[in-house]
Structure 1
């Protein structure tokens, strides 16, 4: 079982849509109607620019998410820039997971493959974990709020599954993967604050490294997540970050936060 850092760290991302680095309002992704898509930022820089930036600042474990088709070459460009330094998600299956690792991914991130017909398949999780190894697998338990609970969402957060985020579910997953990635899809890209209750319960429930993404809009959110999760959950900034056109969080300050706390484990 992987050890959990005892202080929250900044974890960067590269979101790819139609081959470009973008920041998208998570709940607006819809395969059936592209007109619903809301984009906060479209980069004029190639994906490799961000991979190099993270590499040069020793920000290992950044997640590269392919949001739909047309992103494979952009993802491979990132991996060529920093082999074994990035995690790849989006369309990962048993059939292609090893191919992405061979292409340079440190880990692969999976969600939809584990939910055929939107129903959780422990058999698929076991098969994927056995094929590539626990240390190479990240499970994305991204979710949407339904009443007082969070339900795992798949297919770019469009389809609700039969599984609720709970300690019991996370305990099952943790036997077969080395990390969790949790996008709070309802607040993703809105820059209106994190889902504090979700971060708090993740801190209580998780026993492996976990990264939360969604709504972060201030450097102080790093300390907030640290307090809420007792240092067990890391934080990703997206649309609020200056390298993605944001106005409220500076990339260099996030790097400084990590460097300041690098010796706290």
Structure 2
């Protein structure tokens, strides 16, 4: 692949590698450090990507670095919640969470996950099954939905409740979101970025976080590129519309897993 095409191809996939790295580490800074190391490795050794699918090559190179580094965490700038989450993640079956993220959030096929992780396809399938079981053991909590489309809001509410969580309510605007959260503090927020009255779900979430401190947030949006720029703080969990139930369940389980290190309030 000519250099120009390679740069363009990597550029298209890089935001999603950063999304994966951020969800895996629980930190934008740590995730970006791993993504940068991946790019440096590819630039120094073109054979890592030549003749292969760009996305698979990027994730495979990332995974090799992640494994060889012993998955260290740079605690500079890391919150207490992120640090405790990293400690808890060490108790999980090795590679299970990585496989689950690759399957559900990044939507790689099992044969692609096998290539990324250098395992067999059956092993990849088993790791995802294990991860679903382990991540599903996180505590039940209260979830607030910020979504202006009624059908989508009701679908999200149904998925969350079927997982054993409660839903504090649905907000369609920035103002409603703030009022709802103040009335009943959530343990997790599911939010769109474009709301009914033209207000911003991002602004609503930022206001809530400034008032309430650390809360896990999952953004579900038809405009993921608006939150994958690297120019400002980005969410650990970002799902593109149209989404699948599997994606939502995976993201909620993992976000609750992070939250469980803080201790969820009683439902």
TM-score by length of 1: 0.30
Larger Rg: 2
Structure ranking higher in helix proportion: 2
Provide the TM-score with structure 2 as the length reference: 0.30
Please state which structure has a larger fraction of its residues in strand: 1
Structure showing greater relative contact order (alpha-carbon pairs closer than 8 Å, 6 or more residues apart): 1
